[in-house]
Amino acid sequence: MSEVAACLSLEDKIESVLGDLLEEYSAEHDHPWIVGFSGGKDSTLVLQFVIEMLLSLPPSARRRTVHVVANDTLVEAPLVAKHLDKCLARIRTGSEALRLPVTVIKTSPKADQTFWVNLIGRGYPSPSRTFRWCTDRMKIQPTSHYIRSQVASNGKVILLLGVRRQESSTRAVSVNRYSNGGRLNAHNDLQGCLVYRPIVDFSTEEVWQILLQRRPPWGGTHRDLVTLYKNGQGGECPLVIDKSDAPSCGTSSSRFGCWTCTVVVKDRSMEGFIESGQENLEPLLEMRDWLAEIRNDPTRRMAHRRNGKVTYLADGSLIPGPFTLTARREIMDRLLEAQMATGEVLITEDEVEHIERIWAEDAAFGLGAAVAEPADSEAVA
């Protein structure tokens, strides 16, 4: 936290953020704003401040469009996905009623790049820390594509993110690394995209205090968000008045991810949802654990990579390729069973069609032999 921010009261910090937002929005250029919205506490607070700032202006001064952009990987935890859709619907309806220049967008992976098309269709092994193929295809690319389209139309855009130094040591390092000391900083990868971090100096306790004390200007309350964090983390989310109170929920971990994530050792958020009464989600947790378990099973992996090559480590051991066709069909069967058991849509008809087409092509080229020995490294190209 900056020395200046540390000396300010919460009300002063709020007024400072609203003043900065107003000043930046009123600048002479017409670069549209893009608010990265996940439905979590930090992005919700950023959007709350943005909407409050817009409402402080006369309609004639609300001349710049604000794009609220959310991303749906299509394998989000069901409760999180429903929460996000509910939030986006309220924001869209509320903004229309208030006649605000707000556009609500939800991005998602291309039809041939979804999690299941890659894992069940192409046989990509379950993601791991050393081979996290999912993030770029499912999260980064869809949203980056939208941002680039806006840059192409407008020359530049300003991306508002709910990043905070206190969120983690990694975040703090990242903020310091890419900050030039000004309000706007060039995005590391997206040309023409300027990054604005309005709540960078807010603590977790301050974020929750504001959300619990201020109703969302687009309607409703933040109670659903509080409940989501409480159930997902299995802990309390008390009203925080000052730092001497018990820490608010989300302090140790405030992230909800894909229910299919095999990068983490345990899906604590899903465990929390189940423990809070969502027993119908147990098949998802069981399948996630099973996907992690079979990842390095040599009998379920092909010898050849998808480009037809066989790759070896320096010691001569074979690097396994994708899942075999037999394993992919096995995964599909388990997924459809979980879909029936939970009553949730876990895979779409479009995805099934893409998968069956890839299976037919792989069968025609004879891609299906299992490897003879296990290996830790991954290769699927």
The last residue of one of the domains, among 185, 220, 255, is 220
Band of pLDDT at residue 181, cut at 50, 70 and 90: low
Query: Distance between CA atoms of 275 and 369, rounded to whole angstroms?
Result: 41
Render pLDDT for 134-177 as a digit per residue (tens, 0 to 9): 999 999 999 999 999 999 999 999 999 999 986 644 444 444 44
375 located within any domain: no
Kindly state whether residues 302 and 214 are assigned to the same domain: no
If you average pLDDT over every residue of the chain, what do you get? 86
Quick one: pLDDT at residue 315?
Answer: 83
Render pLDDT for 316-326 as a digit per residue (tens, 0 to 9): 788 889 999 99
Angle between helices 41-55 and 78-97 (to 10 degrees): 0
- B/e letters for 100-113, b = 16+ CB within 10 Å, e = fewer, are bebebbebbbeebb
For the ranges 133-147, 176-190, 337-351, the maximum mean pLDDT occurs at 337-351
Quick one: pLDDT at residue 255?
Answer: 57
Quick one: pLDDT at residue 380?
Answer: 58
Kindly state whether residues 25 and 172 are assigned to the same domain: yes
Quick one: pLDDT at residue 235?
Answer: 37
Average the pLDDT over each of 184-193, 237-246, 283-292, 300-309 and give the range with the smallest value.
237-246
The last residue of one of the domains, among 179, 200, 220, is 220
Quick one: pLDDT at residue 318?
Answer: 82
**352-365 average pLDDT score:** 93
101 located within any domain: yes
Query: Distance between CA atoms of 37 and 14, rounded to whole angstroms?
Result: 19
**86-91 average pLDDT score:** 97
- Percentage of the chain modeled with pLDDT above 70: 84
284 located within any domain: no
Quick one: pLDDT at residue 69?
Answer: 96
**DSSP-derived secondary structure for 321-361:** -SBPHHHHHHHHHHHHHHHHHH-S--S-HHHHHHHHHHHHH
In 26-77, where does DSSP find H-type helix? 41-55
Structure tokens at 167: 């969120």
Kindly state whether residues 167 and 316 are assigned to the same domain: no
268 located within any domain: no
Average the pLDDT over each of 151-165, 257-271, 367-381 and give the range with the smallest value.
367-381
**Is pLDDT above 90 for 364?**
no
**288-317 average pLDDT score:** 88
Number of folded domains that form the chain: 2
- Percentage of the chain modeled with pLDDT above 90: 70
103 located within any domain: yes
Quick one: pLDDT at residue 58?
Answer: 97
Quick one: pLDDT at residue 238?
Answer: 31
Query: Distance between CA atoms of 115 and 351, rounded to whole angstroms?
Result: 9
Structure tokens at 134: 């999912």
Band of pLDDT at residue 180, cut at 50, 70 and 90: low
Q: What is the CATH number of the domain that holds 66?
A: 3.40.50.620
pTM of the model as a whole: 0.85
Render pLDDT for 12-69 as a digit per residue (tens, 0 to 9): 999 999 999 999 999 999 999 999 999 999 999 999 999 999 999 999 999 999 999 9
Query: Distance between CA atoms of 204 and 213, rounded to whole angstroms?
Result: 14
Band of pLDDT at residue 234, cut at 50, 70 and 90: very low
The last residue of one of the domains, among 203, 220, 237, is 220
270 located within any domain: no
Kindly state whether residues 106 and 22 are assigned to the same domain: yes
**Is pLDDT above 70 for 372?**
no
Domain that holds residue 190: 3-220
Band of pLDDT at residue 231, cut at 50, 70 and 90: confident
**127-134 average pLDDT score:** 90
Kindly state whether residues 334 and 189 are assigned to the same domain: no
- 265/256: higher pLDDT: 265
Rg for the chain (alpha carbons), in Å? 23
Quick one: pLDDT at residue 130?
Answer: 86
280 located within any domain: no
44 located within any domain: yes
**Is pLDDT above 80 for 1?**
no
Kindly state whether residues 43 and 129 are assigned to the same domain: yes
Quick one: pLDDT at residue 79?
Answer: 93
Structure tokens at 189: 């990868």
Kindly state whether residues 301 and 191 are assigned to the same domain: no
**Is pLDDT above 80 for 239?**
no
